[in-house]
């Protein structure tokens, strides 16, 4: 990053805007209701995200170059992992209070540390392992009341299944982050983002025979809006890392829980529980410590952060 490109205030502003737009995307999904299959939601999220992304790349005169790739199978693997994560996350989002879904989603960076050590043989020292362990304690604190519901209500407990789905999404997102880190060695960010959306739109169509539902005009509008919000949020996220370092920008991801609690209370009447707040504080503390350690160790995550898909 050149000195001229560094503008922390602008970078932080773009990051916060991306967080707000991702929350608007989640609000649209939750407002559409729990009766819409996750695969159908994923199609709208992926297909309509392409609209602002392709317009932006055309404006930059970078559209043809975004489709050039030497590793189509790598994009396919990243797409499969990302789309499965997105679908699980969307299922959890519509069956959980929004703050709970957001907080559990914070587990994905913890998973990325584990997979980096196992799959990439990256050296993870005791400090980061400790942070991962502490963060997972926070996840258990958030999960425990939901799993109690699962025991009491069986697999018919929507919140219990929603919590497990969000955790599955976090695991898959962590694996997708590792795939992105392999792709960014030789692939452009624009290429990764475009192929992810295309893969998501195509693969989600295969869920059509499994029960897509007829949508009202309101639901259709909400799902189209969720895709557009997601696409624009991705652009702001990408732009934020052009103006500031990862260690400066990344902690502002956690502002989503504060804004999300407010939106969830106003829109859906959700009140965060004490265990959710305690668990979230633990997970956020662990996540921020990992960011700090990676900055200290010089482990740049700028390229992979730009190409990842936070919160679906």
Whole-angstrom distance between the N-terminal and C-terminal Cα of the chain?
Answer: 27
What average pLDDT does this structure show over 214-243?
91
**Angstrom distance (rounded) from CA 1 to CA 202:** 35
Q: Cβ of 210: how many Cβ atoms within 10 Å?
A: 9
Per the CB < 8 A criterion, the answer to whether 119 and 235 are in contact is: no
Is 300:256 a contact under the CB 8 Å cutoff? no
Query: DSSP label at 273?
Result: -
Counting residues of the chain whose pLDDT is more than 70, the rounded percentage is 89
pLDDT in tens, 146-171: 877 656 555 556 788 889 999 999 99
* 163: Cα within 13 Å, side-chain hemisphere: 20
Give residue-wise pLDDT tens across range 45-61: 999 999 999 999 999 88
176: tokens are 């997708």
1 pLDDT more than 80: no
Q: Given a cut of 60, is residue 305 above it in pLDDT?
A: no
| Mean pLDDT calculated for residue range 297-302 | 55
pLDDT class of 125 with cuts at 50, 70, 90: confident
The rounded distance, in Å, linking the Cα atoms of 50 and 41 is: 15
Confidence (pTM): 0.86
pLDDT at 103 over 60: yes
The model's confidence at residue 310, banded by pLDDT at 50, 70 and 90, is: very low
Instruction: Give the whole-angstrom CA distance, residue 18 versus residue 252.
Output: 10
Q: What pLDDT score does 147 carry?
A: 75
Distance CA 11, CA 247 (A): 11
Give the model's confidence band at 240: pLDDT under 50 very low, under 70 low, under 90 confident, else very high.
confident
Higher pLDDT, 150 or 106: 106
Instruction: Round to whole Å and give the CA distance between 162 and 146.
Output: 9
Give the whole-number percent of the chain exceeding pLDDT 90: 54
Position 169 scores a pLDDT of 94
The mean of the pLDDT values for the chain is: 86
Q: Is the pLDDT of residue 4 over 50?
A: no
User: DSSP 3-state assignment of 206?
Assistant: coil
Q: How far is the C-alpha of 114 from the C-alpha of 124, rounded, in Å?
A: 9
Q: What is the structure's pLDDT at 39?
A: 94
């Amino acid at each position: 990053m050149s000195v001229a490109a560094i503008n922390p205030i602008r970078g932080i502003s773009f990051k916060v805007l991306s967080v707000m737009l991702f929350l608007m995307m989640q609000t649209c999904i939750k407002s559409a209701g729990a009766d819409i299959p996750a695969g159908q939601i994923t199609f709208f999220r992926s297909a309509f995200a392409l609209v602002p992304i392709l317009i932006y790349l055309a404006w930059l005169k970078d559209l043809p170059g975004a489709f050039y790739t030497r590793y189509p199978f790598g994009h396919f693997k990243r797409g499969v992992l990302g789309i499965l994560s997105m679908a699980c996350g969307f299922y959890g989002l519509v069956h959980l209070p929004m703050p709970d879904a957001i907080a559990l989603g914070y587990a994905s960076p913890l998973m990325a540390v584990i997979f980096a050590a196992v799959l990439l043989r990256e050296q993870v020292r005791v400090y980061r392992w400790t942070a991962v362990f502490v963060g997972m304690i926070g996840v258990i604190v958030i999960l425990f009341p939901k799993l109690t519901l699962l025991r009491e209500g069986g697999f018919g407990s929507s919140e219990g299944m929603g919590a497990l789905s969000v955790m599955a999404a976090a695991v898959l997102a962590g694996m997708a982050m590792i795939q992105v880190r392999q792709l960014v060695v030789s692939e452009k960010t624009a290429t990764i983002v475009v192929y992810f959306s295309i893969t998501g739109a195509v693969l989600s169509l295969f869920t059509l025979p499994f029960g897509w539902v007829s949508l009202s005009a309101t639901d259709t509008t909400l799902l189209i809006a969720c895709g557009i919000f997601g696409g624009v949020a991705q652009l702001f996220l990408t732009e934020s890392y052009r103006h500031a370092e990862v260690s400066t920008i990344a902690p502002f991801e956690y502002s989503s829980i504060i804004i999300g609690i407010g939106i969830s209370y106003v829109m859906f009447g959700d009140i965060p529980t004490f265990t959710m707040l305690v668990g979230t504080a633990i997970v956020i503390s662990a996540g921020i410590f990992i960011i700090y350690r990676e900055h200290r160790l010089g482990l740049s995550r700028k390229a992979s952060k730009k190409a990842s898909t936070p919160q679906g």
